[in-house]
Amino acid sequence: MRTATPVNFTLDLNGRPGPRSGQVAHALIEAIARGQVHDGDRLPSTRTLAATFGLARTAVVGAYEELTAAGFLVARPGGSTYVEHGAGAAARAGAFGAAPAAAPGAGASDAGASDAGAPGIVLPPAQPAPRRASPITYDLRPGYADPGLISERDWTRAMRLAASPARSARDAHLELRGQLSGHLRRARGLAVDPEDIFLFPSVSNALRTVAVTCGLAGQPVAFEDPGYVKARLALSQAGAVIRSVPVDDDGIRAQDLRPGDRACYVTPAHQFPLGGRMPVPRRADLLTWAAAGDALVLEDDYDGEFRYDVPPLNPLRSMPAAAGLVVYLGTSSKILSRGLRVSWAVLPARFRAAMTGYLDGAGEEVSQVSAAFLASFIATGALTRHQSRAMRTYRARQERFVAACCEHIPAARALGIEAGLHVALVFDRPLDDVVAAGRLAEAGLACLPLSPFFAGPAPRPGLLCGYSRLSETRARGAAELIGRVTSDLMAPG
CB under 8 Å to 424, separation ≥6 — which residues? 273, 274, 275, 414, 415, 416, 450, 462, 463, 464, 465
- Given 364, 380, 396, which residue is the final one in a domain? 380
Domain total of the chain: 3
Instruction: Put residue 312 in one of left, alpha, beta given phi > 0 → left and psi -120 to 50 → alpha.
Output: beta
Is residue 132 a part of any domain in this protein? no
Q: What pLDDT was estimated at residue 73? A: 79
Q: What CA–CA distance (Å, rounded) separates 478 from 367?
A: 37
Look at 238 and 40; give whichever has higher pLDDT. 238
Beta strands 448-449 and 462-466: pairing type?
antiparallel
Residue 370 lies in a domain: yes
Query: What is the pairing mode between strands 412-415 and 422-427?
Result: antiparallel
In a domain, 165, yes or no: yes
Q: Are residues 325 and 237 in the same domain?
A: yes
Which of 92, 111, 138 terminates a domain? The answer is 92
Indicate whether 393 and 372 sit together in one domain: no
Asked whether residue 456 is domain-assigned, the answer is: yes
| 404 and 370 within one domain | no
Beta bridge partners of 263: 221, 296
How do the residues of the chain divide into helix, strand and coil, expressed in percent and rounded to 5? 40, 15, 45
What is the chain's mean pLDDT, rounded? 84
Whether residue 262 sits in one domain with residue 363? yes
pTM over 0.95: no
At 64, the pLDDT band (50, 70, 90 cuts) reads confident
Q: Distance (Å, rounded) from C-alpha 173 to C-alpha 369?
A: 10
Residue-number span of the structural domain to which 88 is assigned: 1-92
pLDDT of res. 130:
39
Phi, psi of 397 (to 5 degrees): -70, -40
Please say which residue of 92, 116, 131 terminates a domain. 92
Distance in angstroms (rounded) separating the CA atoms of residues 221 and 297: 10
Q: Is 201 part of a structural domain of the chain? A: yes
Predicted local distance difference test score (pLDDT) of residue 165? 63
- For the ranges 90-94, 158-162, 286-290, the maximum mean pLDDT occurs at 286-290
The pLDDT of residue 413 is above 80: yes
CATH code of residue 301: 3.40.640.10
Q: Indicate if the pLDDT at residue 217 is higher than 90.
A: yes
What is the structure's pLDDT at 245?
96
307 and 400 fall within a common domain = no
Question: Given CA atoms 262, 343, 112, 271 in this order, what sign does their dihedral have?
Answer: positive
Q: Is residue 134 part of a domain?
A: no
Nearest Cα to Cα of residue 354 among 198, 172, 169: 198
Contact at 8 Å (CB) between 225 and 267?
A: no
| Across 166-182, average pLDDT | 86
- Residue 106 falls within a domain, yes or no? no
Task: Give yes or no for residue 401 having a pLDDT over 70.
Answer: yes
Q: Are residues 47 and 191 in the same domain?
A: no
Rounded Cα gap, residues 36 and 167, in angstroms? 26
Checking if the pLDDT of 114 tops 80, the result is no
Name the packing angle between helices 229-237 and 203-213 (round to 10°): 40
Residue 206 has pLDDT above 90, yes or no: yes
462 DSSP β-pair partners: 426
97-112 per-position pLDDT tens digit? 533 333 333 334 333 3
pLDDT value at residue 457: 80
